[in-house]
Structure 1
Amino acid sequence: MKNVVQLSGGKDSTAMLLMMLERGISVDDIVFCDTGKEFPQMYDHLEKVEKYIGKTITVLNPEKSFDYYFLEHIRTSGDYKGVAGYGWPGHKRRWCTKILKTEPFRKYIGKEKHNLFIGIAADEAHRVKKYKYPLVDWNVTEAEALSYCYKHGFNWNGLYEDFRRVSCYLCPLQRKNDWRILRKKYPDLWNDAMRLDLQSCFKLRDKYSLHDLERRAFAVEDLFIDMFDVA
């Protein structure tokens, strides 16, 4: 049975991969599911990881783009049957994870027997399910995982200095101040988010559009932080 590492590219999965190799645990495949909306620094990071470990990372892509599912896909069931686009994902409708990550991985792995290793730190042991979570077993916290990566020369070109998590830059589950940082320091990515927001008939977190937030932020910038409650 082969060992497969599910690499998100963040601090936890990166630290897990490096620690596994450091401990002599065999890694037969490393899989990264590309949403198409990753920070540019993430792609640089993945290349750096490949060179460091001397192994190729398998990059999986969904059948169609994030933009297609966000704006164009026609729903076939439920309350929004016939409506175009899933719009902004949310806690109860995380279509992005299912369509852009879970389904491509399942299609790739097929029925091949494997051990799946996932990078969840000891801080979030409550998220552990049926797979293998070395960081939890080794009691490695998120802070320790990040420190470990920094010591091994991986810094994501400063992403973790701005954000607590560095997943898809459109993630609606990110902290409330992250959108503010994205707008101020990553204008190209913010503009992409605004483009999608303008075309979608669904609100961000069912309350506000990004355009609503930006208009109010320009009026009184500090209000941007308090406009909607993101954990």
Structure 2
Amino acid sequence: MPHHEKHVLGLSGGKDSAALAIYMRQNYPELDIDYFFTDTGKELPEVYEFLGKLEGFLGKPILRLNPNRDFDYWLKQYNNFLPSAQTRWCTRQLKLKPFEEWIKPFLEEGMTVHSYVAIRADEPYREGYNAKQDSLKIHLPFKDDGIDKPGVAEILESSGLGWPKYYEWRSRSGCTFCFYQQKIEWVRLKERHPEAFDEAKAYEKDALEHGSPFTWSQGESLDELTEPARIRQIKEDYEKRLLKIKARKKQNPLRPDSELIDIDDVYGQPKFCVACHK
């Protein structure tokens, strides 16, 4: 029976999940989908702005799921060790746990929860949310319907929503100090949001003093990364790589590909957290 089913779609503030929300609204209007966003409290201001515009398009509020313990609480629990690709406690505690706690009562009532995840047709389904319960069903509509990165761009543009503003300087949503950022993104964070950069630097300094082996960016502290000579080097390296990619790409006059080149393309696709960056 329909009332024993619930449909949910998690938004990260990223372009893929936003495009999926638009796609589902346009192609499956009969589904009553609950859209949700897990707010770590450390998101970029551009993310909140984008979610506001998306709410306008969807015509319904996006639920805000807040972790009951914030980043600072978990940082202490993990002995001041910064989250890293090896120990991604931030995704676990600040994104997945609130989702699990939110759907738990529905599952306990015997409902089937359908969760829609924005994995595109042109990417492998790596570290998505793996359902532990049979009554939580994960669906990948983009993968099923063959929608790739250009397809996502088309959905965003034709809806009038366009791209998130952070796209001008960064490839994905997520926390201001996400360790998956490239060096160029740290440099731009310092230029665009100096207060968020300073906060990240303070966390790093504190963590290093407590013996954490990790800096936010691999192999150097944020202090070292933002020495004037180092900034110049990072920017030059980025420009060189960008030119190489542009030279390799065939120009399609109907689709200027420059808008589809993002920082991940320039440096090669890194691993990332589906919960935070889609």
TM-score (norm 1): 0.83
The one of 92, 116, 122 equivalent to 2:86 is 92
Matching of residue 48 in structure 1 with residue 53 in structure 2 = yes
**Farther off after superposition, 176-185 or 120-129:** 120-129
Query: What is the Cα deviation at residue 149 of structure 1?
Result: 1.2
Task: In structure 1, give the amino acid aligned to 2:200.
Answer: A
* Alpha-carbon RMSD: 2.3
Task: In structure 2, give the amino acid aligned to 1:159.
Answer: Y
Distance 1:27 1:8, change over 3 A: farther
Query: What is the Cα deviation at residue 8 of structure 1?
Result: 1.2
Question: What aligned pairs does 1:161-200 form with structure 2 within 5 A after superposition?
Answer: 161-200=168-207
Gaps of 5+ in 2: 132-137, 238-266, 271-278
Q: Distance between the aligned counterparts of 2:119 and 2:93, measured in 1?
A: 21
Question: What aligned pairs does 1:6-85 form with structure 2 within 5 A after superposition?
Answer: 6-25=10-29, 26-70=31-75, 72-73=76-77, 75=78, 84-85=79-80
Query: What is the Cα deviation at residue 186 of structure 1?
Result: 2.3
Distance 1:33 1:150, change over 3 A: same
Higher Rg of the two aligned structures? 2
Query: What is the Cα deviation at residue 156 of structure 1?
Result: 5.2
Identity, % of aligned positions: 31
Residue 223 (structure 1) aligns with? 233
Query: What is the Cα deviation at residue 157 of structure 1?
Result: 5.5
Gaps of 5+ in 1: 76-83
Q: Distance between the aligned counterparts of 1:157 and 1:31, measured in 2?
A: 17
Decide whether the 8 Å contact of 1:69 with 1:86 is kept in 2. Answer: no
Task: In structure 1, give the amino acid aligned to 2:95.
Answer: K
**Farther off after superposition, 94-103 or 200-209:** 200-209
Q: Distance between the aligned counterparts of 1:221 and 1:9, measured in 2?
A: 28
Distance 1:13 1:27, change over 3 A: farther
Residue 78 (structure 1) aligns with? none
Distance 1:115 1:55, change over 3 A: same
Residue 142 (structure 1) aligns with? 149
Q: Distance between the aligned counterparts of 2:162 and 2:176, measured in 1?
A: 17
Query: What is the Cα deviation at residue 182 of structure 1?
Result: 1.1
- SS of the residue corresponding to residue 15 of structure 1 reads helix
Q: Distance between the aligned counterparts of 2:20 and 2:163, measured in 1?
A: 16
Matching of residue 209 in structure 1 with residue 229 in structure 2 = no
Task: In structure 2, give the amino acid aligned to 1:185.
Answer: R
Task: In structure 1, give the amino acid aligned to 2:153.
Answer: L
Residue 80 (structure 1) aligns with? none
- SS of the residue corresponding to residue 200 of structure 1 reads helix
Q: Distance between the aligned counterparts of 1:10 and 1:143, measured in 2?
A: 15
**Farther off after superposition, 137-146 or 151-160:** 151-160
Decide whether the 8 Å contact of 1:4 with 1:115 is kept in 2. Answer: yes
TM-score (norm 2): 0.70
> What is the count of residue pairs matched by the alignment?
216
Deviations 1:75-123 (A, max 9, x none): 4xxxxxxxx2231x22221111100011010001002420110112122
**Farther off after superposition, 204-213 or 38-47:** 204-213
Decide whether the 8 Å contact of 2:120 with 2:142 is kept in 1. Answer: yes
